[in-house]
Chains A and B, each alone.
Chain A
Amino acid sequence: GQNIDQPTEMTATEGAIVQINCTYQTSGFNGLFWYQQHAGEAPTFLSYNVLDGLEEKGRFSSFLSRSKGYSYLLLKELQMKDSASYLCAVMDSNYQLIWGAGTKLIIKP
């Protein structure tokens, strides 16, 4: 079966760096997405990786290794507003999105 694994919850300190990991086992691969979802709000797109390597976008970076079935989302200079759930999703060979259960990130002062 298809599966996406990510930690359920993480805690980090304001101003620090945190890495949220995502491992996947899917039927084919057509890209990996990270979405951010604040409590009570809509998930919003953060990043899309289809090739191996690191994609940087401001304080957020996303890394992909297709051979290892692994990605991470790196958040730098953490701010209180970064407290949210981070959803990892993989597009399989049928262009269907397979979702992880999300990682709840708690930022402490």
Chain B
Amino acid sequence: ETGVTQTPRHLVMGMTNKKSLKCEQHLGHNAMYWYKQSAKKPLELMFVYSLEERVENNSVPSRFSPECPNSSHLFLHLHTLQPEDSALYLCASSQVSDNTGELFFGEGSRLTVL
């Protein structure tokens, strides 16, 4: 138990569906992240929210839309995805004032796009 909870753990969707991934952190952190993890590839940072404001968007396609309503919750809204978007989507949190920048990850949402 890392203090970061992601739902759903598994999701299968068609290319025309709309779905959302949810992340909740119980650590009192003030920064949250979405990462994409594909097999045998480095983690790809998608979005960063610090103090509930988006501070980074690494050229992610618009079919991925993040939402951070408060410092404890983060969503990733998905629509008209492509099969190459199939991956493990990891949420993480950290405390901005922590000099080490240690990240606390959730267990991920395994997404399959048919």
Does chain B have a CB within 8 A of A73? no
A99 in contact with B107 (CB, 8 Å): no
Are A42 and B2 neighbours in the complex by a CB distance under 8 Å? yes
A48 touches B45 (CB 8 A): no
B108 at the interface (CB under 8 A from A): yes
* Cα–Cα distance between A8 and B106 once the two chains are bound (Å): 23
Contact B105–A99 (Cβ < 8 Å): no
B69: CB under 8 A from chain A?
Answer: no
| A41 and B102 contact, CB distance less than 8 A | no
Q: How far is the CA of A4 from the CA of B107 in the complex (A)?
A: 23
Residues of A close to B108: CB separation below 8 A: 42
How many pairs of residues, A versus B, come closer than 8 Å at their CB atoms? 46
When A40-B107, A42-B4, A42-B108 are in contact, do A31 and B101 touch as well, CB less than 8 Å?
A: yes
A48 in contact with B100 (CB, 8 Å): yes
| Number of residues from A at the complex interface, CB < 8 A | 24
With A42-B90, A44-B2 already in contact, the answer to whether A91 and B101 are too (CB < 8 A) is yes
Q: Taking the complex as formed, is B114 at the interface, i.e. its CB lies under 8 A from any CB of chain A? A: no
Q: Is the interface of B mostly helix, strand, loop or mixed?
A: loop
Give the contact stretch, choosing among B14-22, B36-44, B79-87: B36-44
8 Å CB contact of A8 from B40, B45, B105: B40
From A31, A45, A96, contact of B103 by CB (8 A): A45
Interface contact A99-B90, CB-CB below 8 Å: no
Contact A87 B102 (CB under 8 A): no
Flag if B41 contacts A101 (CB, 8 Å).
yes
Given the complex, which residues of A lie within 8 Å of B102, measured CB to CB? 33, 45, 48
Contact with B along A32-49 (1 / 0, CB 8 A): 010100001111110010
Q: List 15 A-B contacts (CB under 8 A).
A: A4-B42, A8-B40, A31-B100, A41-B107, A42-B90, A43-B90, A45-B102, A45-B103, A48-B102, A89-B43, A95-B101, A97-B45, A98-B42, A99-B42, A100-B42
Tell me the A residues contacting B by CB distance below 8 Å: 4, 8, 30-31, 33, 35, 40-45, 48, 87, 89, 91, 95-102
